[in-house]
Amino acid sequence: MRLFSYGAYVCVNIDRGADMSYTALYRKFRPDNFEDVRGQDHIVKTLRNQILADRIGHAYLFCGTRGTGKTTVAKILARAVNCEHPVGGNPCNKCASCRAIAAGSSMNVIEIDAASNNGVDNIREIREEVMYAPADGKYKVYIIDEVHMLSTGAFNALLKTLEEPPAYVIFILATTEAHKIPVTILSRCQRYDFRRIGQETILERLQELVLAEHVDAEERALRYIAKKGDGSLRDSLSLLDQCIAFYLGETLTYDRVLEVLGAVDTEVFSDFLRKILDGDLVNVIRSLETLIMQGRDLTQFVNDFTWYMRNLMLLKASDDMEEVLDISTENLERLREEAAMIRNDTLMRFIRIFSELASNIRYASNRRVQLELALIKLCHPEAERDELSVVERIRRLERLAEQGALVRPAGGAEAPGSYAGGMPGAAGAYAGGAPSGSTGVGYPGGSDGTVMGDIPGDAQPASYQRAAPEDLKQVCTMWKTIIAQTEGMFRVVLAAAQPKYNAQDENDGRLFVVFADFLAERYIDNAQKKAELEQIIEEKIGKHVELKFVLAADEQIHKGTLAAIDLEERIHEFIHTDIEIEQEDSDD
């Protein structure tokens, strides 16, 4: 510990050595110059230029979410404007003024917490103090944190001083809720919006700190901590501090970070989602029981699972979302598989249910019951009465009908467990194995109860089939060449698609592109992609072919009229040639 004096004050400089108590990482590694501030280059550059050009403003407003550096930058600015030997706009951190401000003993820098000092009297004290010039140094700097907490009267009292302060006074107002500040105050300040810090920037900083602290940590573990910081470097450092303390002297692995933070691995979310899509409620509840026994936090599980489904929704929404998601290649591949397994509206229903749960679970006395109720809603759409849930129930009934699970037995009596009534008011529900609403009459059937009407797909009797038009056959022979001219995810889903035609309507000359899975759902009504593919086909065969995009899961809405195009004759035309074998002359 060393004593030094400046002016009329005696200050203490304490050596932060072994005699000091532990200092949290976010305090220990708080930047002391502009160059060390991460993720706010647009603000740092402006402030440094102002200092270098001696164009310092009298009032600043720092806005932004928590942990983005508002107070840190304010303190650096306070030191820089009072520094005796500034270096490139940065404080030297060695002169008496810099050291006093850093130690919190300077009379020139006054920090005020507006959350607890928000009355008119507190602001009046400031108005009286600003009349006195600094004892030493150039500026008196008032840093008012959480300034939005000031009362209306306090804002009014601050207004006049803020408008015409003495030349030696600088006000720095910091807030996380700029919309609560009166316009009259905003118009008198230079406003700087602090952005959320990027995950990669936070990761780089964490890697630097673990090296400085001699902590062995996996990159995957640090990346997860950076992600959980949600754009706040301070929150990320606090989480890192917590994990290091729990496994002091040991390697900080990904699994250990998950354990300390009560988090769940991405693979668990994937497993949950796949079981939910299968309607396997028993195993979903068993998986939840396992998480609870492991001590996982249910509120965090709900938030993380909602975020997982959000990533899935973004992946389905656009071809260019892979870089935005910032997840590993392994997890991205798993997400692609699941994107092909779930419809957009089903996914939105899942997100809605869990978003409502996230709002309610924090106040629930029994969080497990709330979570189990939400999982039941996901697995059994009949538990809800909204439009999306009703549609999902109809789809499940249609799948059961296609698989033969809903069959009307001979004599017209309903088999146990069969669904004969259909869904009230719902077109497309199955009654006795046949789609209701298809015709106004019953379906002719044999004595065994089988239906002779709409037989899906290629199972249609030959008498109902008609040959595909030659133009469509020509398109199918060139299908791989055609889709090779497309790009991105559109090309991927086309490669798995099957071109079909209407086998019962000779006037329907459309080519039906039947996509294999739900990954192509966003292209179904995409007129631009449809026109793009039609243009490519027109350039290839010299004729215009109208296209219709269909999901394989929705193929039943065409009542079994779609059939694959038989190319056997077409292929035979291409490969059939007369072969003449010439016998070579022998020298014998």
Residue 417 Ramachandran class (φ > 0 left, ψ -120 to 50 alpha, else beta): left
Whether 351 is in a domain gets the answer yes
Average confidence (pLDDT) over 559-565: 73
369 and 286 belong to one structural domain: yes
Q: CB under 8 Å to 60, separation ≥6 — which residues? A: 74, 77, 170, 171, 172, 173, 189, 190, 191, 192
Q: Is 9 a residue whose pLDDT tops 80?
A: no
Structural domain containing residue 337: 267-389
44 and 183 inside one domain: yes
Together in a domain, 175 and 31? yes
Convert the pLDDT of each residue in 248-301 to its tens digit. Answer: 888 998 888 888 887 777 888 889 999 998 889 999 999 999 988 888 888 888
Decide if 33 contacts 75 (C-beta within 8 A). Answer: no
Residue 410 lies in a domain: no
Average pLDDT over residues 438-448: 37
- CATH number (domain holding residue 92): 3.40.50.300
Q: If you average pLDDT over each of 34-43, 468-477, 569-578, which comes out highest?
A: 34-43
Q: Which residues contact 526 (CB under 8 A, 6 or more apart)?
A: 549
What pLDDT band is residue 546 in, cutting at 50, 70 and 90?
confident
pLDDT number for residue 542: 84
131 with 204, same domain? no
What CATH number should be reported for the domain holding residue 501? 3.30.300.180
Element (H, E) at 563: strand 562-564
Task: Judge if 154 and 281 occupy the same domain.
Answer: no
Give a yes or no: residue 486 inside a domain: yes
What is the rounded distance in angstroms from the CA atom of residue 157 to the CA atom of residue 127?
Answer: 8
* CATH value at residue 227: 1.10.8.60
- Rounded to whole angstroms, the maximal C-alpha distance in the chain is 127
Residue type, 137: G
Do 184 and 77 reside in the same domain of the chain?
yes
At 119-135, the pLDDT tens digits run 888 888 888 888 888 87
Number of Cα atoms under 13 Å in the Cβ half of residue 226: 20
Domain end residue (candidates: 358, 389, 420): 389
Q: Is residue 5 situated within a structural domain?
A: no
pLDDT at position 214 over 60: yes
- Predicted local distance difference test score (pLDDT) of residue 402: 61
Tell me, yes or no, whether 305 and 331 share the same domain.
Answer: yes
Q: Confidence class of residue 306 from pLDDT cuts 50, 70 and 90?
A: very high
Does residue 418 register a pLDDT over 70?
no
DSSP-derived secondary structure letter, 355: H
CATH number at residue 382: 1.20.272.10
Residues 21-38: pLDDT tens digits? 778 888 888 898 898 898
Q: What is the DSSP annotation of 243-285?
A: HHHHTTTS-B-HHHHHHHHT---HHHHHHHHHHHHTT-HHHHH
The tokens for 36 are 């060390």
Where does the pLDDT of residue 398 fall: very low under 50, low under 70, confident under 90, or very high at 90 and above?
Answer: low
Nearest to 6 by CA among 201, 136, 112, 114: 136
How high is the pLDDT of residue 396?
67
CA separation, residue 459 to residues 376, 464, 564 (Å) = 37, 10, 11
Identify whether residues 378 and 508 lie together within a single domain.
Answer: no
Give the Cα-Cα-Cα angle 69, 75, 80 (nearest 5 degrees): 120
Bridge partner residues of 455 (DSSP): none
DSSP bridge partners of 194: 64
Q: Is the pLDDT of residue 440 over 70?
A: no
Query: Which of 584, 586, 521 shows the shortest CA–CA distance to 550?
Result: 521
Q: Is residue 226, in this structure, part of any structural domain at all? A: yes
Query: What's the CA gap between 416 and 214, in Å, rounded?
Result: 69
Q: What is the pLDDT of residue 106?
A: 85
Looking at 338, 366, 389, which one is the last position of a domain? 389
Q: Which amino acid is at 38?
A: R
Is 47 a domain residue? yes
When pLDDT is averaged across residues 460-483 and rounded to a whole number, the result is 70
- For the stretch 137-165, pLDDT in tens is 789 999 999 999 998 888 888 888 888 88
Three-state secondary structure string covering 298-328:
HHHHHHHHHHHHHHHHHHHHCCCCHHHHCCC
pLDDT at 451 over 50: no
Name the residue among 45, 44, 103, 101 with its Cα closest to residue 69.
Answer: 44
Domain membership flag for residue 30: yes
Contacts of 94 (CB under 8 A, 6+ apart): 85
Q: How many residues does the chain have?
A: 588
Low-confidence winner among 98-102, 303-307, 378-382 (lowest mean pLDDT): 378-382
**DSSP per-residue letters across 470-497:** HHHHHHHHTHHHHHTTS-HHHHHHHHH-
Provide the number of structural domains found in the chain.
Answer: 4
Whether the pLDDT of residue 62 is over 50: the answer is yes
**58 and 190 belong to one structural domain:** yes
* Same domain as 183, residue 218: no
Asked which of 362-371, 476-485, 556-565 is least confident by mean pLDDT, the reply is: 556-565
Residues 178 and 127 in one domain: yes
Q: pLDDT (tens digit, 9 = 90+) per residue, 321-374?
A: 766 676 666 777 888 888 888 888 889 889 999 998 988 888 788 889 999 999
Domain boundary at 341, 368, 389, which? Answer: 389
* Pairwise CA distance, residues 80 & 44, whole Å: 12
Q: Chain-wide mean pLDDT for the chain?
A: 78
| b/e map 536-573, b = 16+ CB within 10 Å | bbeebbeeebebbbbbbbbbbebbbbbbebebeeeeee
Are 392 and 381 spatial neighbours (Cβ–Cβ below 8 Å)? yes
Do 247 and 272 have their domain in common?
no
Residue 295 in any domain: the answer is yes
Contacts of 583 (CB under 8 A, 6+ apart): none
Among 258, 57, 70, CA closest to 165: 57
